[in-house]
Amino acid sequence: MGITYFENERIFKLDTKNTSYVIGIVDKEGFVGHAYYGKKLGEDALAYLMRIYESFGTPETNARDRLSFYDAFPMEYPTHGIGDFRESAIRVEDANGHFANKLTYRSHEIFKGKKKLAGLPATWCEKDEDCETLELTLEDKEAKLAVVLSYSVFNDVDAVVRHARVINESDKTVYVTKAMSASFDIDNNEFDKIVLYGSWARERYIDRTPVSYGIQMSRSMRGEGGHQEHAFTALLEKNADQNKGEVYGMDLIYSGNFRTLQERNQFDNIRMMTGINPDDFKWELTAGADFQTPEAVLVYSNEGIGGMSRCFHDLYRNHLIRGYYRDKKRPILINNWEATYFNFDTEKLLAIARQAAPLGIEMLVMDDGWFGNRFDDNRALGDWEVNEEKLQGGLKHLVDEVNKLGLKFGIWFEPEMISPESKLYEEHPDWAFTVPGRVPGLARNQLVLDISREEVADYIFEKMAKVLHSANIEYVKWDMNRPLADIASAALPKERQGEIFHRYVLGVYRMQERLITEFPNLLLENCSGGGARFDAGMLYYSPQIWCSDDTDAIERLTIQEGTALIYPLSAMGAHVSDCPNHTVGRTTPFATRGAVALAGTFGYELDITKISEDDRNQIPQQTAMYHKYNDLVRTGDYYRMASYRENHYYDAYMVVSKDKKEALATYVCVKRRPNPRSRGLKFLGLDPEKTYRIEGEDRTYLGSTLMNAGIYIEEPWGDFQAKLFHIVEA
């Protein structure tokens, strides 16, 4: 790992263990371009990679064709309005309303360690020796604007993280209408692209298609990432699969409106870009002020899609997720949402806890419905006071009783929301987002609080903190059940209404930072109507995120496959629920539900007092299984062997410990084939030289045998059957 500046060649080379990212400065004006990203390069003379003598040359050699240079040169941070007609990374309107910018090299600094991003989540390194940073300052001399591009590389992960800070060095106010986090150009190599798409209850489905000409974009305007599209994208060679081929992954550490795109142009180059969605974005920069973009993550792997996923997992586990539970097994929880919905009281919750405790469940989570007059989802959001009609004896009494049973206690909040039918709305109708003179649209009968206003955020935070201090509460589920619309803030003047979306996200981050600072041992789980806020920004505050409201084991195979493409299994909220499943009406074996939930944080989401005895009797075995395998699942390397989404019959994935001494493979036969022969399954990621035993079998195998020849699994009788293979070094 290291960053080197080759002064004579004007080349920066950012190395990770297996990759290099190369930036060059060209022309006497000092344009900064992208030279290379991919497999690691040696200490060679790399300036030729800038290709400045091709076709139109640079302005220095061919001033009459300056625009042709702009429109072909792979600018490291492309600007708007001067002749690069591809997507720009930055657009700034000056005091005269002009918006053309030209950025060239001013200075740079290389240092050990990594600075924090003010108010934003970002990767970090524990010790300065663990990472290195390049700060490359570009300037627009005419507009008196500086842009600091910051890049960091880590000792232990093949990732480059980068962000930009825009500084107004003029003495007039300007407006930033676009400031992306990352952009890089690459020659097309018959690339495919992967994006994630979905909806409520089917989040993060994988879509792989060729990159076509023009712009292909994923984006959100919902004020959060959303169920529908994702800030992640990947470019991959045509023949790349799970295990081989070049793959470039890009993700954004942000939880608001994003724009992530590929643009394939006339020269068959592809521009990759990600950042805050510039739609409805306009940020006022007074003289001397700056704007900080969120951080983007770039990952390159020549070990296929799986290699890319493992890099993201390591980066997020080692350099993004924080806090008490980062490296710890999470308590096995039982959540009452699918068990009771709004219909519960102290006695009902205690009945669940009493049955849960002896079976190995470790925490009771009280979901939506414990506050104000919240008897259904039509009212009371904002009234964060305990409903003692439901919780007879109060919250502390309930928590104490639950604790006496040996269980921890967790609680649900939806802090950013307000119901029109609530005491809070009666007192502060202006705290909800509404465009003056317009009736705002409801979603789930609720409105969104203007969390961009500090006094609103502080009020809600203090209400939450009061509840959390009132009893021994060790977990919070932070939910958000509608997107933002009808955006207008009473606190900002008209020129600054374009700041609201981003200020809202900053407000949420500020509240969550306060929460984990004031309650450092709290386990925070983010959630948004299922998995609409499963993003890298949220992982900085909560080590786990609720994956989806769809808890059906078979639907979860696809949802968890898409989620694990980027995010570590340690972060995926996954529960065993009751059948027929509440989202799709499917009935699957209890054992299969347990096996699938084991790939995540593991817990239950059912009325344990009502399920069959047969199911209940399986819980001790499942909770023991969680304790047996969770260290491996949480910390190991993830490999995908087969995708039910692709083959329509079966799913198979495995986790291998870093020392390759142990692995757990999960096989789910979704549909039994008629008259089948046994199915061959080749394991991945093992040490070919090591000798392994599959638990339950007498014989041993060489790792190379298990990976090259594999094993044969007899097709189980009936659909939806799961089987686990615990593989240990003999």
Determine the Cα–Cα distance for residues 700 and 340; give it in Å rounded to an integer. Answer: 48
> Rounded to an integer, what distance in angstroms lies between the CA atom of residue 678 and that of residue 673?
10
Q: Which of 15, 130, 314, 479 is catalytic?
A: 479
Q: How far is the CB of 479 from ligand DGJ (least distance, A)?
A: 5
Residue in 84, 367, 383, 549 annotated catalytic? 549
The Cα 634–Cα 639 span in angstroms is: 13
Minimum Å gap between C-beta 574 and ligand DGJ is: 12
| Cα–Cα–Cα angle for 600, 417, 458, rounded to 5 degrees | 100
With CB under 6 A as the contact rule, the residue among 479, 525, 651, 662 that binds ligand DGJ is: 479
Active site residue 376: no
| Choices 324-332, 523-531, 533-541, 694-702; region in contact with ligand DGJ by CB under 6 A | 523-531
Question: Which run of H or of E encompasses 700?
Answer: strand 700-702
Distance between CA atoms of residues 134 and 109, nearest Å: 6
- Number of residues engaging ligand DGJ in binding (CB under 6 A): 11
Nearest distance from C-beta of residue 528 to ligand DGJ, angstroms: 7
Q: How far lies 551's CA from each of 573, 579, 602, 633, 725, in Å?
A: 10, 10, 12, 19, 23
Asked if 401 is part of the footprint of ligand DGJ (rule: CB under 6 A), the reply reads no
Phi and psi at 520, nearest 5°, equal -65, -20
Question: Cβ–Cβ contacts within 10 Å for residue 109, how many?
Answer: 12
Phi, psi of 102 (to 5 degrees): -125, 125
Q: What's the token pair of residue 493? A: 């003047």
Phi-psi region of 288 (alpha: psi -120 to 50; beta: other; left: phi over 0): left
Stretch that binds ligand DGJ, among 247-255, 435-443, 451-459, 524-532 (CB under 6 A): 524-532
Q: Is 337 in the site for ligand DGJ (CB under 6 A)?
A: yes
Token pair 């394939």 in the structure block, residue: 264
The amino acid at 201: A
Taking CA atoms, 290 is separated from 137, 147, 183, 273, in Å, by 13, 9, 20, 21
Residue closer to ligand DGJ by CB (options 371, 701) is 371
Give me the helix-helix angle, 500-518 and 454-469, nearest 10°. Answer: 30
The radius of gyration of the chain from alpha carbons, rounded to an integer in Å, stands at 27
Which residues, 172 to 231, sit near ligand DGJ by CB under 6 A? none
Residue among 445 and 635 whose Cβ is closer to ligand DGJ: 445
In the bound state with ligand DGJ, the residue whose beta carbon lies nearer, of 401 and 479, is 479
Select 132 or 367, whichever has its Cβ closest to ligand DGJ: 367
The CA distance from 661 to 659, in Å, is 5
Between 216 and 445, CB nearer to ligand DGJ: 445
> In the complex, what is the shortest distance from the CB of residue 19 to ligand DGJ, in angstroms, rounded to a whole number?
37
Does 650 interact with ligand DGJ (rule: CB under 6 A)?
Answer: no
Write down the least CB distance from residue 197 to ligand DGJ, Å: 19
- Which listed residue (412, 459, 639, 683) binds ligand DGJ by CB under 6 A? 412
Among the listed ranges 418-426, 522-530, 639-647, 662-670, the one in contact with ligand DGJ (CB under 6 A) is 522-530
Closest CB to ligand DGJ belongs to which residue? 368
User: How many CB atoms lie under 10 A from the CB of residue 80?
Assistant: 19
By CB under 6 A, what part of segment 525-554 binds ligand DGJ? 527, 529-530, 546, 549
Shortest Å, Cβ 548 to ligand DGJ: 8
Nearer to ligand DGJ, 308 or 597 (CB): 597
Candidates 220, 452, 481, 563; binder of ligand DGJ (CB under 6 A) is 481
**Please, which residues bridge with residue 432 across strands?**
449
Looking up tokens 């079976």, which residue turns up? 359
Is 367 among the residues that bind ligand DGJ (CB under 6 A)? Answer: yes
Structure tokens of 416? 């950013």
- According to the binding rule CB under 6 A, does residue 368 interact with ligand DGJ? yes
Dihedral sign for Cα 25, 26, 32, 35, please.
negative
Q: Tell me the C-alpha distance between 33 and 43, whole Å.
A: 19
Active site residue 479: yes
**Least Å from the CB of residue 337 to ligand DGJ:** 5
Q: Which is nearer to ligand DGJ, 162 or 582 (CB)?
A: 582
- Both tokens of residue 37? 């990203």
Nearer to ligand DGJ, 141 or 444 (CB): 444
> 122-141 burial, b if ≥16 CB within 10 A, otherwise e?
bbbbeeeebbbbbbbbbbbe
> What span, in angstroms and rounded, lies between the C-alpha atoms of 239 and 714?
31
Compare residues 168 and 551 and give the one whose CB is closer to ligand DGJ: 551
End-to-end alpha carbon distance in the chain: 35
CB of 365 to ligand DGJ, least distance (A): 9
Q: How far is the CB of 74 from ligand DGJ (least distance, A)?
A: 42
Query: Smallest distance, Å, CB 547 to ligand DGJ?
Result: 9
411 counts as binding ligand DGJ under rule CB under 6 A:
no
Residue among 250 and 522 whose Cβ is closer to ligand DGJ: 522
Residues that bind ligand DGJ (CB under 6 A): 337, 367-368, 412, 479, 481, 527, 529-530, 546, 549
Supply the residues annotated as catalytic. Answer: 479, 549
